[in-house]
């Protein structure tokens, strides 16, 4: 039996904000039971037509009509799937599914849900995983203000500026991390503009932190020799070590090694083995002649059954501890990360005077400027080493003068 259902938009004229507007509310009545929900729409009391339950502004009124339409759709959907629906059930459904997010954190969860679906479509979870942290930091900031959430229309430019200060002072974030968090805030506010919840993004003019020139982190030849000469007795640790070495000798990113299958491995007319594979990130083909050590590592794994990958690797995050521990074992001062292996490949080739065009082809770079970044690393190191040499000679020269004056 179909229940009785009605929606009644109204305003509370006694609660007017400083800007002269008041919230439009909506009373849900199902079988005589009522509850109230806020669509996140505001208007001036004089612009509200109580008899028709309409707003004079066509833009705001269209938003209200769309919201009511979505609520009716949700009611019919619940009734069809569950056979029964109450006012509270409908309200909870609308809140949980964020049919119309009205607060900052609601908008964040709504966007994260969209990113989750998108990540499943493209088989890449990096953006979705990152959004979890950005949402968490925003939540932490609101908690520091004594708030559980904040209405989208309450967000101001000062809110953005103090959030930036919070990230730098309380989280000790550098420019890159801070900017990522600010971009997430702006993303949510632009979504609110698109949905006509707010008219403009109040943080649009807020300045980002100036980032230092990006530098690739890499391991030294001495550190690589230590990794080569330090086999691990733990099976998982040894898999991580071999994968790191293989990446250092081929320049393949972790995801590309995970996707490496026997058909990607070939042999040329001279009997030289190579890898030819399209990079997951850029879709650009990488062509890599195999180093003898890389060949020996390959021989330990699957190079015949093309239904399975060469290496039995888990998700990259699952090997984080093993890679970090490997850095500790070899005595590396800063943290060792898997991506340093790929950066080291590029840096080692530059140091060996391999033409930059060949390096770009081996690394599958879509733009040669990316490859030139490795050349800058090598040039910077040469400059630093020369500065150290000149400083030592300066000290030595001072010592010689002192001896001569005795």
Question: Is residue 344 within 8 Å of residue 219, measured between CB atoms?
Answer: yes
What's the pLDDT tens digit per position in 350-379?
677 777 777 777 777 667 666 666 555 444
Q: With beta carbons less than 8 A apart as the criterion, state whether 156 and 202 touch.
A: yes
- Hey, what domains does the chain have and what are their CATH numbers? 5-96 (no CATH), 104-194 (1.10.150), 221-383 (1.10.443.10)
Higher per-residue pLDDT: 82 or 399: 82
Q: Is pLDDT of 402 > 60?
A: no
142-151 confidence digits (pLDDT tens)? 999 999 889 8
Q: Is 306 in contact with 262 (CB distance < 8 Å)?
A: yes
pLDDT digits (tens, 9 = 90+) for 301-352: 999 999 999 999 987 777 878 888 888 888 887 778 887 888 788 777 767 7
pTM exceeding the 0.85 threshold for the entire prediction: no
- Rounded Cα distance between 59 and 40, Å, is 14
Show the tokens assigned to 92: 């909870």
* pLDDT tens for each residue of 211-254: 665 555 778 889 999 999 999 988 999 999 999 999 998 988 88
The DSSP line for 264-310 is GEEE-TTS-EEEEEE-TTT--EEEEEPPHHHHHHHTTS-SS-TTS-S
* List of E strands, 209-254: none
- Output the pLDDT for position 372: 63
Residues paired with residue 49 on neighbouring β-strands, in sequence order: 54
- Give the per-residue pLDDT at 8: 92
């Amino acid at each position: 039996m179909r229940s009785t259902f009605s929606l009644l938009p109204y305003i509370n004229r006694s609660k007017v904000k400083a800007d002269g507007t008041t919230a439009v509310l909506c009373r849900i009545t199902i079988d005589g039971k009522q509850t109230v929900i806020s669509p996140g729409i505001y208007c001036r009391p004089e612009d509200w037509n109580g008899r028709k339950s309409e707003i004079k502004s066509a833009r705001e009124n269209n938003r209200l009509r769309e919201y009511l339409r979505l609520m009716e759709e949700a009611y019919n959907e619940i009734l069809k799937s569950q056979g029964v629906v109450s006012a509270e059930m409908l309200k909870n459904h609308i809140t949980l599914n964020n049919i119309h997010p009205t607060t900052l954190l609601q908008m964040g969860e709504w966007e994260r849900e969209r990113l989750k679906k998108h990540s499943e479509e493209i088989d890449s979870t990096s953006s979705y995983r990152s959004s979890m942290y950005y949402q968490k930091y925003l939540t932490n900031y609101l908690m520091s203000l004594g708030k559980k959430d904040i209405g989208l229309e309450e967000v101001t430019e000062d809110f953005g500026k103090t959030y930036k200060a919070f990230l730098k002072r309380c989280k000790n974030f550098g420019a890159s991390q801070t900017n990522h968090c600010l971009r997430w805030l702006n993303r949510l506010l632009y979504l609110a503009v698109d949905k006509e919840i707010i008219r403009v993004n109040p943080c649009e003019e807020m300045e980002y932190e100036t980032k230092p020139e990006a530098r690739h982190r890499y391991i030294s030849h001495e550190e690589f020799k230590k990794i080569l000469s330090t086999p691990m007795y733990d099976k998982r640790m040894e898999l991580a070590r071999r994968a790191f070495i293989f990446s250092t000798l081929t320049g393949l990113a972790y995801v590309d090694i995970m996707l490496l299958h026997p058909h990607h491995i070939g042999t040329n007319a001279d009997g030289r083995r190579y890898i030819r594979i399209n990079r997951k990130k850029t879709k650009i083909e990488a062509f890599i002649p195999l180093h003898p050590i890389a060949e020996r590592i390959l021989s330990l794994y699957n190079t015949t059954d093309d239904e399975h990958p060469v290496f039995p690797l888990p998700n990259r995050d699952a090997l984080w501890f093993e890679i970090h521990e490997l850095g500790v074992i070899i005595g590396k001062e800063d943290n060792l990360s898997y991506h340093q292996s790929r950066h080291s490949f590029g840096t080692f080739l530059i140091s060996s005077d391999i033409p930059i065009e060949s390096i770009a082809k081996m690394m599958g770079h879509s733009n040669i400027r990316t490859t030139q970044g490795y050349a800058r690393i090598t040039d910077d190191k040469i400059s630093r080493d020369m500065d150290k040499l000149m400083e030592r000679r300066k000290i030595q020269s001072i010592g010689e003068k002192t001896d001569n004056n005795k």
